[in-house]
Amino acid sequence: MDATFHKMLQGYRGFREKYVRCEEGVDSSLMHRLAVDGQSPEVMVVACSDARVDPALILQCEPGDLFVVRNVANLIPPNEPDASHHGTSAALEFGVCNLNVKHLIILGHSQCGGMDALLNRSELKQNDFITNWMSLIDNETDPVEDVEILAKRALLSSYENCLTFPWIRERVRENKLKIDLWFFEIKTGEISAYSFKHNQFQSLVDDND
Ligand SMILES: [Zn+2]
């Protein structure tokens, strides 16, 4: 059996032991409670599909804590109320309007393949979906060559796009929703958060905390 698949099955057993187990015939497990009460996460995360950037794992969250949508390069498109199939916008709508999350975190990361694809379009072969998706980022008006700089700039672009959704704009204005832009450095595991006050990314937590 494939090693990763074997690890997955072991993980699945561990998950059930930790979150689904009955205590002396009484089912008070977290999953049981979540099934009865439903989900009510306070935080939504938009993250990249990259296998190294799993928000629940990085933030050590439990089932029910995070409402997550992952896509190539953690991009948020602008509000386009047409008949196309907008998966990320649908997830945003559900998280913000139905679940009423209080925080929306857009989680970018280093070494993003999506950003790399945008910078090296000539290397793409038959990747029409990726090319079109990555065209959400404008790297022509003031082009950069650096993947990390582009990834951070894309976070700001996604933030601007967020505000084109009236139900997000309204909640942000009323302080019912806070949007955070985070950048995860794969090599060091560090997260920096964008400070709108200082116009720069700063360490999310002091390591001495
Ligand atoms: Zn990525």
Q: Is 88 contained in some domain?
A: yes
How far is ligand 1, taken at its centre, from the CA of residue 55, in Å?
12
Q: Is 193 contained in some domain?
A: yes
pLDDT reading at 209 higher than 70: no
How far is ligand 1, taken at its centre, from the CA of residue 84, in Å?
24
Shared-domain flag, residues 17 and 67: no
- The pTM (predicted TM-score) of the whole model is 0.94
Q: Is 144 contained in some domain?
A: yes
Choose between 25 and 111: higher pLDDT.
Answer: 111
How far is ligand 1, taken at its centre, from the CA of residue 47, in Å?
8
Shared-domain flag, residues 3 and 61: no
Q: Is 95 contained in some domain?
A: yes
Shared-domain flag, residues 108 and 25: no
Q: Is 208 contained in some domain?
A: no
The size of the chain, in residues, is: 209
How far is ligand 1, taken at its centre, from the CA of residue 109, in Å?
6
Give the model confidence (pLDDT) of 47-57 as tens digits: 999 999 999 99
Shared-domain flag, residues 161 and 197: yes
Give the model confidence (pLDDT) of 115-147 as tens digits: 999 998 766 666 789 989 999 999 999 999 999
pLDDT band at 23 (very low <50, low <70, confident <90, very high): confident
* CA–CA gap between residue 122 and residue 180 (Å, rounded): 33
Q: Is 19 contained in some domain?
A: yes
Q: How many domains does one find in the chain?
A: 2
Q: Are 90 and 133 in contact (CB under 8 A)?
A: no
How far is ligand 1, taken at its centre, from the CA of residue 208, in Å?
29
Q: Give the model's pLDDT for residue 170.
A: 98
Give the model confidence (pLDDT) of 144-168 as tens digits: 999 999 999 999 999 999 999 999 9
Shared-domain flag, residues 107 and 179: yes
- Assign 3-class secondary structure to the chain: CCHHHHHHHHHHHHHHHHHCCCECCECCCHHHHHHHHCCCCCEEEEEECCCCCCHHHHCCCCCCCEEEEEEHHHCCCCCCCCCCCCHHHHHHHHHHHHCCCCEEEEEEECCCHHHHHHHCHHHCCCCHHHHHHHCCCCCCCCCCCCHHHHHHHHHHHHHHHHCCCHHHHHHHHCCCCEEEEEEEECCCCEEEEEECCCCEEEECCCCCC
Question: What is the identity of the amino acid at 88?
Answer: T
**Residues near 181 by Cβ (< 8 Å), separated by ≥ 6?**
105, 106, 108, 155, 156, 158, 159, 193, 194, 201
- Determine the structural domain holding residue 9 and report its residue range: 1-38
**Residues near 20 by Cβ (< 8 Å), separated by ≥ 6?**
29, 31, 32
Shared-domain flag, residues 122 and 144: yes
Shared-domain flag, residues 170 and 70: yes
* CATH code of 56's domain: 3.40.1050.10
Shared-domain flag, residues 19 and 102: no
Shared-domain flag, residues 152 and 90: yes
Mean pLDDT for the chain?
A: 94
Shared-domain flag, residues 96 and 168: yes
Q: Give the model's pLDDT for residue 113.
A: 95
Show which residues are catalytic. 48, 50, 52, 109, 112
Choose between 128 and 25: higher pLDDT.
Answer: 128
